[in-house]
Amino acid sequence: MDQDAVRLLVKVTQEGDFSQLLKLFQSCGPSACQLVHLGRSGDSLLHHAARHGRLDFLHFLIGDVGMELEVCNLDYKRPLHEAASMGHTACVSYLLRRGARVDCLKKADWNLDLIQELIQHSADPLLKNKDGWNAFHIACREGDPGVVRYLLTAAPDVWRTESKTRRTPLHTAAMHGCEEVVQILLERCGYTPDAKDSCGVTPFMDAARNGHVSVARLLLAKHQASPTAADTLGAQTVHHVAVTGQEEALHFLVRELNVDVNQRATGMQLTALHYAAKEGHVSTIKTLLDLGANIHAQDKKRRTALHMASIGQHADAVRTLLQLGLDDSQDASGITARQHAKKPHIMHLFD
């Protein structure tokens, strides 16, 4: 079967021209029934029909032509995955009735009707993917309260899960700012306050460093979260927030919770100002100084924020710190901030 005919078959399937599909199958003969991996993605006609919600095409290709409904493309996705990921409930129902194997992990953007359909056909919400995520992790990331409640009703222990990096669904919901989902998890699940992932990050840290202050407030009020818990490197939430440049969260921590803006991470004794300078967040540097950060603070190697800005090759941060009066000094190894700068236009700022 020539490539022009194949491309035309794909086109009419995508566009939903069923009468044209029938004519093409009649003209192409039995060879059309053998079409499996088409194009670089390896999609079959079933994949295209399922992805575009062409229920009549699925009926014809499976029921009349006899195509294999479990055919995989080059991404190991089957027609059921495509129908589910695009929210085509009728196509999902048909494929399941025809005996398609249920797999609830391939896509995250399913609606409640699809979730219910899959669960009713014995989908296992506890099944994990290669990263250790189950369907509940994914639902908490997407933030649909209805789906989260349904999964907790259908499988009450579904929340008792961690990814391979020990991240819980509560971490996931907090990180993505899904406040209503976080509320449900705190009410219905038994998560330990300040549970840490493999890097020592807590849900409170995740919420704050991603700028979700309302979620951080909720974790503080309803889950006894600690604003001063430290990760495996000794960095606290104030340091994480400085890295991501979340200034509202900085005000929340320092002004409302009285977190010490000059608190040092226990490893290298870095302050929030060091972290902000290394990332080149000029506005955050100024915010930290307004909140009382010590511009002359040195880390374990006697490096100042100016050293860190130079190490990060951030010209604007270097310029700002010099203008604020921070002198170029030697660290414990006798290296100045200017010497850390590798780019000529940054080195010239010290002249």
Sequential DSSP letters for 221-269: HHH---TT-B-TTS-BHHHHHHHHT-HHHHHIIIIIS---TTPPPTTT-
278-300 tens-digit pLDDT: 999 999 999 999 999 999 999 99
Rounded Cα distance, 125 and 135, in Å: 5
- Token pair recorded at residue 135: 């369907």
b/e burial code for range 238-264 (CB count within 10 A of at least 16 → b): bbbbbbbbbbebbebbbeeeebebbbb
pLDDT given at position 100 = 84
- Token pair recorded at residue 165: 């990096």
106-121 tens-digit pLDDT: 444 467 887 888 888 8
pLDDT given at position 127 = 84
Give 81's pLDDT tier (boundaries 50, 70, 90).
confident
Give the mean pLDDT of 5-25. 86
60-69 tens-digit pLDDT: 989 888 888 8
- Enumerate the β-bridge partners of residue 243: none
Q: Name which residue leads in pLDDT, 195 or 70.
A: 195
Q: Using CB atoms within 10 A of its CB, is residue 160 exposed (0-12), middle (13-18) or buried (19+)? A: middle
3-state secondary structure of 38: strand
Rounded Cα distance, 242 and 92, in Å: 46
Domains of the chain: 1-103 (1.25.40.20), 124-226 (1.25.40.20), 229-351 (1.25.40.20)
**Residue 105 confidence (pLDDT) above 60:** no
Q: How far is CA 292 from CA 254, 286, 289, in A?
A: 9, 10, 5
- Token pair recorded at residue 117: 């359909």
Describe the crossing of helices 213-223 and 179-188 by its angle, rounded to 10 degrees: 10
**Residue 96 confidence (pLDDT) above 80:** yes
* pTM listed for this prediction: 0.77
- The percentage of the chain sitting over the pLDDT mark of 90, rounded to a whole number, equals 64
pLDDT given at position 340 = 92
DSSP symbols for 219-233: HHHHH---TT-B-TT
Helix, strand, coil tally for the chain in percent (to 5) = 55, 0, 45
Contact in structure between 63 and 55 (CB atoms under 8 Å):
no
Q: What are phi and psi of 272, to 5 degrees?
A: -60, -35
- The percentage of the chain sitting over the pLDDT mark of 70, rounded to a whole number, equals 95
213-250 tens-digit pLDDT: 999 999 999 999 999 999 999 999 999 999 999 999 99
Average the pLDDT over each of 36-45, 67-76, 107-116, 140-149 and give the range with the smallest value. 107-116
Q: Which residues, at least 6 apart from 14, have a Cβ–Cβ distance to it below 8 Å?
A: 48, 52
- Enumerate the β-bridge partners of residue 330: 336
Of residues 333, 254, 341, 265, the one with CA closest to residue 299: 265
pLDDT given at position 63 = 87
244-255 tens-digit pLDDT: 999 999 999 999
Q: Which residues, at least 6 apart from 300, have a Cβ–Cβ distance to it below 8 Å?
A: 267, 268, 269
DSSP symbols for 191-205: PPTT---TT---HHH
pLDDT given at position 66 = 84
Rounded Cα distance, 256 and 10, in Å: 60
pLDDT given at position 123 = 77
Q: What are phi and psi of 24, to 5 degrees?
A: -65, -40
Contact in structure between 174 and 207 (CB atoms under 8 Å):
yes
pLDDT given at position 170 = 98
**Residue 309 confidence (pLDDT) above 60:** yes
pLDDT given at position 312 = 96
Contact in structure between 73 and 43 (CB atoms under 8 Å):
yes
pLDDT given at position 31 = 62
